[in-house]
Amino acid sequence: MSGGEEPRIFRVAEVSRGLKQILEQRTAGLWVEGEIGGVQRPGSGHVYFTIKDELEEAALDCVLYKREAMRFGRAIEEGARVVLRGRATLYAPRGRLQWVCDVVRPSGRGALLVKLEELKRRLAEEGLFDPSRKRRLPTTPRVIGVVTSRTGAAFHDICTVALRRAHVRIVLSAATVQGEGAPLSIIQALDRLEALPELDVLIVGRGGGAQEDLLAFSDERVVRRLAATRVPVVSAVGHEIDHSLADLVADARAATPSQAAEMVVYDASERIQTLRSLERRVALALTARVRESAVKLTRLEKRLGDPRFVVATHRQHLDELSADMERWMRSILTEAKKNERELTTRLERRHPRAVVLHARSRLLPLYGRLRSQGERLVEQKSAPLGELAARLDALSPLKVLGRGYAVVLNRHGKAVRSASEVFPGERLSIRLKSGEIAADVVEPNES
C-alpha cells in the first residue's frame, strides 16, 4: 500500500474461501495420528470427533462423512489410537478449522486387534470354532496334562484343586507363555504331552495379564495345534474378562486355572454320594415294580381261573344230562312193557285167532308210534348232548394238544408261560397229545 491508497477491505466470506482453498491444496492426502475423543454420531450419518496429540496439548476437530463412515465408522471409538488420511479445510459458517477424513486405520494396539479379528474370522470360516467339533470331557480322567509356566501360580492352583477332589496324575509340560518365543514353546509342550499314550485330557493356560501378554494363545500356529489334539482340551487363559482364540478352539473354556481343574477332575466324595442316592432310588423303584407286577399277576390269575374247574363243571352238566336221558329211556321202556303185558293179558283172554289178529292190528300202530316217539325223543335229547359234547371237546386241553400244540412244564410241574421263567440248563417236560418229552434249556429268548 503506497501514499494515500486506501487498503483493500476483504469480506469475511472471501477470506474464508481463500483460506479453505490454501488449506485443502497444501494438506490434501496427509496422514495424521492421534487419540480419538468427543465422538458424536448425529442422525445425518456423519461422525464428528476430536483427535488429540498424546505428547503435547494439541487437538484437531475431525469429520467423517456418511459415505466414509459406512466403511470406517466402527474404528471411531473413544480412546482409540488411529491414523487418519484426509485434508484440512475451513468450515466457513463458523470459521472453524477441521480435518476431513477419507481413510481411517487403527494405530499401535488397535492394529493388532484388527489383525486378531481378521484371523478370528478366517479360522471361523474354516470351522475351527464350530460347536460340532467340541468333544465331551472325560468323566473319570486318570492322567491330566498341563501346559503352562513352571514358575507361575496357574500350575499350583490346578494341582491344589485337582488333588483335593480326587486321586489323579497331573503331568506338567512347562512352556513359555509370554513373549516372542512363546507360541513355539507352547506347541512343543503339547507335542511332549501327546506322546504319552495314557493321556486323557489337556489343560492349557496361564494366569491373568494384559491383552498383549495373552497374544501367544491367539497365535495361529498355537490355535491350529490345539484344534489337532487327540484328547479334549480345556483353555484356562487369563481371567474371566480376558479372551483369546485358544478359548474359542478348545473343547471347553474355564475362566481361571482353578476352574479348569474343577471342570476336569470329578469330586470323588460327591460322586460316591450320588451313586448311593441312585442305588437307593433304583432299589425303591425295583421294589415298587415287583409289587405292581405281583398285583397284576394276581388279578390275571383270578380272571383266568383254573381250567380243570371249567372242565369239571361241564362234565358235571353232561353227567346230569346223561342221567336225565337215562331216566326218560327207563320210563319209556317201563311204559312199553306195561302196555305189552296188558295186551298179552287181553290176548290170552281172547284166544281166538281173530282176536289175536285184531289185537295185533292195534298193537302194530302202537308199536310204530312207540318206536317213532322213542326215536324222536332220542333225537331231541341227542342234539343238545352232541352240542355239549362238542363244546366240552373243544375246551379239552387234550383237543388243543391234538392240534399239534404242547404244554411246557417246569421241574415243579407248573406251566411255563414266558422265556423269562426258565434259565439255561433247567430240565423241562413237554406234554404232547401222546406222551411227554424231556428237554434242557439252552438259551432263553424273550423276543
Model confidence pLDDT, tens digit, residues 16-50: 888 889 998 999 989 999 888 889 999 999 999 99
CA 418 – CA 121 distance, rounded (Å): 63
Top pLDDT among 75 and 222 is at 222
Q: Is the pLDDT of residue 423 over 60?
A: yes
**236-255, pLDDT tens digit by residue?**
986 554 568 999 999 999 98
Long-range Cβ contacts of 246-252 (<8 Å, 24+ apart): 246/204, 246/217, 246/218, 246/222, 247/217, 248/120, 248/123, 248/124, 248/128, 248/129, 248/223, 249/123, 249/128, 249/129, 249/223, 250/204, 250/226, 251/134, 251/135, 251/136, 251/137, 252/134, 252/137
Helices 307-349 and 353-395: angle between axes, nearest 10 degrees: 180
Instruction: State the chain's mean pLDDT as an integer.
Output: 84
Share of the chain above pLDDT 70, in %: 87
In a domain, 287, yes or no: no
Q: What percent of the chain has pLDDT over 90?
A: 32
Residues 141, 234: one domain? yes
Q: Find the range with the poorest average confidence among 9-13, 46-50, 130-134, 249-253.
A: 9-13
- Same domain for 166 and 246, yes or no, is yes
- Residue 283 CA to residue 285 CA, distance in Å, equals 5
Q: What phi, psi does 241 have (nearest 5°)?
A: -85, -10
The reply to whether 337 and 230 lie within a common domain is no
Same-domain pairing of 155 and 262: yes
- The reported pLDDT for the residue numbered 55 is 80
How many angstroms separate the CA atoms of 94 and 109, rounded?
Answer: 35
Range of the structural domain that residue 414 is part of: 407-440
Mean pLDDT of 261-281: 77
Query: Which tens digits make up the pLDDT trace of 311-334?
Result: 777 777 888 888 889 889 988 988
155-179 tens-digit pLDDT: 999 999 988 888 899 999 999 998 8
pLDDT band at residue 123 under the 50/70/90 scheme = very high
Average pLDDT in the 376-403 region?
Answer: 75
Say if 115 falls within a structural domain. Answer: no
Q: Is residue 225 part of a domain?
A: yes
Most confident option among 59-68, 205-214, 310-319, 344-353: 59-68
Report strand pairing: 169-174 vs 436-440. unpaired
Q: Tally helices (H) and strands (E) across the chain.
A: 12, 13
Q: What is the pLDDT of residue 118?
A: 86
Of 377 and 203, more confident: 203
Q: Which of 91, 107, 123 represents a domain boundary (last residue)?
A: 107
Residue 209 has pLDDT above 70, yes or no: no
User: What total number of domains does the chain contain?
Assistant: 4
The verdict on 249 and 314 lying in the same domain is no
User: In this predicted structure, what is the pLDDT of residue 3?
Assistant: 56
pLDDT at 9: 86
Q: How confident is the model at residue 365 (pLDDT cuts 50, 70, 90)?
A: confident
CA distance 405 to 363: 57
Q: Is the pLDDT of residue 85 over 90?
A: yes
Q: Give the pLDDT score at 115.
A: 77
- Say whether both 41 and 92 belong to one domain: yes
Rounded to two decimals, the pTM is 0.43
* Arithmetic mean of pLDDT, 191-208: 92
Do both 417 and 390 map to the same domain? no
